[in-house]
Structure 1
Amino acid sequence: MVTTGHAADAYDPKSVRASTGSFFATPVVRAAGHADVMEWVEEQRRSGTTVLVVATDEDGTVDITDADLTGPVLLLVGNETSGLSQAWRDAADVVVSIPMTGSASSLNAANAATVVLYEARRQRLAKDGVGR
């Protein structure tokens, strides 16, 4: 997990407690901003690892189920107030949306990330022939 800018503090005791132990099994990195993270992505790409940068947005142009999440993915999730910055949107290879019905137009960041991570797992299991 990478946090940038004015993101929530992953090391805050409330965040650690809310992770129910996952915090200790997941590497957490703090970067100054998108440029540092995208430099790492470009290094990965130059070394032969294709990393797909996927942004989440209620106005995304690709339905989450239509995005190929079976390879290495850098998932971008903005905050509930203003979403992703323009710099992050510009850095994304694809901007996905989560289909919603009813009067709600978006989910909070944690719920949106959960849906995308679930979809990535579903696609990867299907690719491997598991869970059919």
Structure 2
Amino acid sequence: MKKIILLAVFVTGFSFFSQAGNGVETGTVQGTIIDAETKKPISNTTFHAAIFKASFVKEFQTDANGNFKITVPAGEHTLIVDKMGYKAVKKENVVVKDGAIIKLNYELIEAEEELHHPFMTPITLHSF
């Protein structure tokens, strides 16, 4: 019995130190993405989240109910959710604390015409 308890303490301590040793504090942002007009969830769809101040773009997918969950670095961020065919939606001053869960819901409006994807590098065509 003592060996099992000692092993559990060792494994828990090792897990804690291995996570703490990576030096990156993170939190979770989760919520639901719905269509602003129909109020129905945008389900099983891949989106891009641009997390400014942390300077990265993360791809994520909604589930059957339009729910999503992403891990982001701790800090204050501007989060932009984007999908081709919809206008990008921005949430500013989102404070993510280490280990915390932040709930954000997005209502996306369909774009009237196909817009340039803001997170992709534009291609310049030259004629010779």
Query: TM-score interval w.r.t. the shorter chain?
Result: under 0.3
- Scaled by the length of structure 1, the TM-score of the pair is 0.21
- Scaled by the length of structure 2, the TM-score of the pair is 0.21
The structure with the largest helix share of the pair is 1
The structure with the largest strand share of the pair is 2
